Amino acid sequence: MVAAASCVVALGTVTGLLSALDDGRGSDEAAPRVTSSPRLAPLPAVPSASPSATTSPSPSPATSKASPSPRKSGNVRGPAAASTGLYRYADSQVLEWVRAHPGDSRAQVIGSRIADRPTAVWFADFSPSTIAGRVRAVTSGAAGQGRVPVLVAYAIPGRDCGGASEGGAPDLGAYDDWIDGFASGLGSSEVVVILEPDSIAQADCLAEDERADRFASLARAGRVLKAANPGARVYYDAGHSGWNTPAQQAALLKQAGAASADSSDGIFSNVSNFHLTSDEIAYDRRVLDALGGPAGLGAVIDTSRNGNGAPADGEWCDPSGRRIGRAPSLDTGEARIDAYLWVKLPGESDGCKGTPGTFTPSYAYELAR
């Protein structure tokens, strides 16, 4: 799938919850699993580089570095050695809301548990003339702090199979040019690129020749991004553990260049979805085994909303009873799992509890509690 409220919590309780989140406790408790995960929410244009999208794959087509550093022993590809950690971009909807509502009874919880966390920055609008500058604004800010930004490239033609998150470049030629501009803004410091959520796992809505053309363009994108900045770590769409089988997903990933060291550092899963981190770890390792390729390929997992796992009824649009998952980290302690990331910004609605793609404080508060 993926895509995609209000009591006051005592300060002592919040502090305890924060401690649990920081060390990984209190998230991913056993919860009913769902094998389907519908789609997202429409994406407003990204004015500069603020995260604006919510995406989520679904098994059903109807629903849709400071110069390169070696992988550390364990699981991380060296960011903790090259930088101090992940970058929190200062221009996001949740930060804007917290700053504008200091007296709101929910502001402290949302601020400490969501706004203070580093999240991905989405580039979801097709804007060839400004993309390089907007990417550069994020990467240069991160480099100045010695931190690693997470960027989401989300402009592939036909994205979301014409669903709620439809949009992107008008054709693959235009998309290739957009990627060239994106790459020119990457700078030379370490950066993580989440390349086109849903673009591979949900490609079954395309005709065979269209799918082959898309995959060729994605392979090119990875090569261009890594050639522009050898410190760029590019991850390809692996869907999530409730979607395609590992063998099916690996076969698609190979066609898109994800098994080549020239274009890929591995895979990402669970973007805007809710599957438990433990399920994603097991699934990602099976995908990587089936994918083959260089020994250093790893996986990153979106843990932004999976603290309670997927809802039992298969609901994907702002489902109730969810909560934020493990804190974003470049050191997971898990072999072949490079990072836990907050790719989908908690509190940005899938379209049921608020306007799609926009920050909804009641939903954020529900997740943060």
Write out the catalytic residue numbers: 160, 198, 350
Q: Which residues pair with 279 in a beta bridge?
A: none
Beta strands in 71-161 (DSSP E): 85-86, 121-123, 147-148, 150-153
Choose among 50, 76, 51: nearest CA to 65. Answer: 76
Cβ-contact 8, 367 below 8 angstroms: no
Cβ-contact 149, 142 below 8 angstroms: yes
Cβ-contact 301, 268 below 8 angstroms: yes
Q: What are residue 54's phi and psi, to 5 degrees?
A: -135, 120
Give the C-alpha distances (Å, rounded to integers) separating 13 from 16, 113, 303, 366, 369. Answer: 5, 12, 22, 15, 10
